[in-house]
Structure 1
Amino acid sequence: MTVDVSGTVAAGWEPVREEFEAFVAAERISPEAQLAVHHRGRRVVDLWAGEDTGADTLSGVFSVTKGAAHLVVALLAQDGVLELDRPVSAYWPEFTGDGKERLTVRQLVAHQSGLVNTAEGFDYDELADDALIAERLAGQRPYWEPGTAYGYHAYVIGALTGEVVRRATGRSIQELYEERIRTPFGLDLYMGLPEAHEGRWRPVLEMVPTPEQEAEGAEGAATAPELLPVAFNLHCDPPADLVAFANHPRVRALGPASAGGIGSARAVAGMYAAAIGVLDGRPALLTARTAAEVARSHGAELGPDLVTGEADHFGLGFKRQPAVGPEAFGHSGAAGAQGFADPVTGVAYGYTRRRFAFPGGAAGENGPLTAAVLKVARG
């Protein structure tokens, strides 16, 4: 199908536009996508494409939200408010039993608690409520001994780390994000979408797979790790649907810190630009030392992820970005979104798409788009 690409790129960044145009032209159905890139103090890429997606369109960004939540955690650790190697139970006394009392904040943020879900799971109203999730998980028996392995806490990591933040500061992670990051930098990435912006919101759209992709998806489901359906709330009746979750009005309103963010590519890139000091010449939120700490590997020695089967993909709450470099950090989102910061090249990248890409997670086009961005940035 033919979908026009709109927006601008700075001089010299035309190869990125060409890559974006090529990807959009190759799609069978409009991806409803946005791409924004900052480089050393200026926005150099600002593109979008879709039948119902503009520059300022807001939609669910899924686990890109985890990057926003853990930027708050990084700031609190940088300030000395949170001690990463202190037990979680020192802040949250109810977090105990079955080895939980030995788990450190660092290990929790690195997805090592074993509390990927409860036995019965959550409905959509409950998944929107971080405080409720945290309360239930505090008494849940972990799926592995805390601190001895790691696995993606898809729907719950923001609730767990958010409860530690609330106990340490008296404020929710959403409140601190709004106060320290979103408002000062004017970012259209919300953990709790204000009613005034509902008119700019557009729903996440379902994937429309080819028959070949459907067969591949069925094969993948059959060989997936045992804990994957548990972590993704597929073990309950009815199983959770990611599209329904992202479009749920209570999720939009409350902005659960694991996957409930609403935003745009401009905002995702802007947040990472703010983190490393490449946003309009403003000082970086993170010191070089903190940025290095959140980017470095946490848990590689523990083997593969027990939920996804991936290896060595967590920094401190963020996902590592090996295709970019060892100093880069960021996070992807289920429909295909991706955001990252790279202090070495001075690049901050934000990509969103409203239509689910197969098979989920960072969409495949992020590979060539990122390569085009880095080639220009290093050029």
Structure 2
Amino acid sequence: MTRDMRVQGTVAEGYEAVREEFTAVLTGELPEYEGQLAAYVRGRKVVDLWVGPDVTGESLYGVFSSTKGAAHLVVALLVQDGVLDLDKPVAHYWPEFAAAGKGAVTLRELLAHRAGLAGAASGLMPDEVADDRAIAARLAAQRPFWRPGAAFGYHALTVGALSGEVVLRATGRTIQELYEERVRAPYGLDFHLGLPEEHEGRFRSVQPMAPTPGQAALLAAEPPEPQSLHSIAFNRHAARPTDVQALPNSRAVRAKGPASVGGVASARGLAALYAAAVTGVDGRDALLTPDTVAEFGQVQSVGHDLVLRAFRVFAVGFQATAGAVYPFLGAGTIGHSGVGGSQAFADPRGGLAYGYTRRRFPFPGGPAAENERLVRAVHEAALAAG
């Protein structure tokens, strides 16, 4: 390992094994690997590590769908305040949404990826992908791809735009504005839905996937059908198909912070978001009450995802991270991963909040495989520390 590839940062007493595991991860990665790992336990930062040439704990990465966790924390706050009701129809707040048989779709169903609006039937143009209002306007009139509530499928590029339109209609403010005012700024989080120009120098552009020959053969063996739900959900069927890997490299995406995929964060920011939500940080109270955390952590969709064509579990606006991904975590764990490898969650029973970022897009996409090792190491250290 070169000097530039030494793990930097700090761990609290009792978490030394986490540093060792993070170091061990590097042996299986490409020489130019860079990433960050952070964790809080009961509001105290216990892990703050990073590695890679020119990387610091303040470097910022595109976190893709980990953005959904930040956006839906805003929805959770509005439900907690009584401004939104999960069991009211979306059309109660947004009348145009009732078109084409969607009048009975509830906010709860929408947040659980059950609304049948996984993508735009005719495709989105590049400027629309970065624009939540444009996506919402397109989908309001669209017929669902399945009968709402009958099944579920990951709304990869659309769910944040749809929930964001509900927020806008109910409050007169965008989900990004409310996130900045109620979450990011008060807690000083390095997790942005709309990256200010002055922070551009800290952004690390996404590096494309670098599959091994065997991995490349697997990808080539199952090319996506252009009109499949999977292709529609990731806008690969559009006249100008979306290069999902490169989304955060667009300044328009970073600046607008679309609520499905446009967030920019450090691992510190990811972990601190969930710590602030569930346990509080630095002596400050948690943003969410235990009842709200339990409501949003309750499983809503479980089984075969029509878009991802695999077993998945979704809660309300979040992934049910414990049940399907890390079964050793506590029941009711809420979080969200990103297709570029990021992972973030809070385990309310253990008081654990976790954040991970990496620069290179992983094979085959989704939460990078090393998260399983790193999450387990942090979890075991937290258990041992009591």
Q: Which TM-score applies when normalising by structure 1?
A: 0.96
Trace 1:279-294 onto structure 2 (pairs within 5 A): 279-294=281-296
Is the 1:305–1:311 Cα contact (8 Å) retained in structure 2? yes
Could you tell me which residue of structure 2 aligns to residue 244 of structure 1? 246
The alpha carbon displacement at 1:79 in A equals 0.8
The alpha carbon displacement at 1:220 in A equals 4.4
For structure 1, which segment, 321-330 or 61-70, has the greater mean C-alpha deviation from structure 2 after superposition?
A: 321-330
Q: 1:338 aligns with which of 343, 346, 353?
A: 343
Give the gaps of 5 or more residues in structure 2: none
Could you tell me which residue of structure 1 aligns to residue 330 of structure 2? 325
Take 2:43 and 2:168, find their aligned partners in 1: how far apart are those partners? 33
Take 1:12 and 1:93, find their aligned partners in 2: how far apart are those partners? 54
Q: CA RMSD in A?
A: 1.5
Is the 2:280–2:287 Cα contact (8 Å) retained in structure 1? no
1:254-301, Cα deviation, whole Å (9 max, x unpaired): 00000000110000000000011242221111111111111110023x
Take 1:244 and 1:125, find their aligned partners in 2: how far apart are those partners? 14
Trace 1:18-33 onto structure 2 (pairs within 5 A): 18-33=20-35
1:299-353, Cα deviation, whole Å (9 max, x unpaired): 23xx411101233410001001121232211000111000000011111000001
The alpha carbon displacement at 1:183 in A equals 0.3
Take 1:289 and 1:310, find their aligned partners in 2: how far apart are those partners? 30
Take 2:75 and 2:266, find their aligned partners in 1: how far apart are those partners? 22
Q: 2:151 aligns with which of 143, 149, 152?
A: 149
Q: 2:182 aligns with which of 156, 168, 180?
A: 180
- Which residue identity does 1:320 align to in structure 2? A
The alpha carbon displacement at 1:228 in A equals 0.8
Paired residues in the alignment total 377
Could you tell me which residue of structure 1 aligns to residue 62 of structure 2? 60
For structure 1, which segment, 210-219 or 367-376, has the greater mean C-alpha deviation from structure 2 after superposition?
A: 210-219
Change (3 A) 1:95 1:337: same
Could you tell me which residue of structure 2 aligns to residue 353 of structure 1? 358
SS in 2 for 1:243: helix
Is the 1:24–1:30 Cα contact (8 Å) retained in structure 2? no
Trace 1:1-379 onto structure 2 (pairs within 5 A): 2=2, 3-221=5-223, 226-300=228-302, 303-321=303-321, 322=323, 323=326, 324-379=329-384
- Which residue identity does 2:114 align to in structure 1? Q
The alpha carbon displacement at 1:25 in A equals 2.5
SS in 1 for 2:219: helix
The alpha carbon displacement at 1:126 in A equals 1.0
The alpha carbon displacement at 1:53 in A equals 2.1
The alpha carbon displacement at 1:148 in A equals 1.4
Take 2:47 and 2:356, find their aligned partners in 1: how far apart are those partners? 11
Take 1:254 and 1:229, find their aligned partners in 2: how far apart are those partners? 24
1:23-80, Cα deviation, whole Å (9 max, x unpaired): 0132123332000000112100000011232110112110010000000001101111
Is the 1:38–1:278 Cα contact (8 Å) retained in structure 2? no
Q: Percent identity?
A: 56
Superposed structure 1 runs of 4+ greater than 4 Å apart: 222-225
Is the 2:63–2:357 Cα contact (8 Å) retained in structure 1? yes
For structure 1, which segment, 116-125 or 244-253, has the greater mean C-alpha deviation from structure 2 after superposition?
A: 116-125
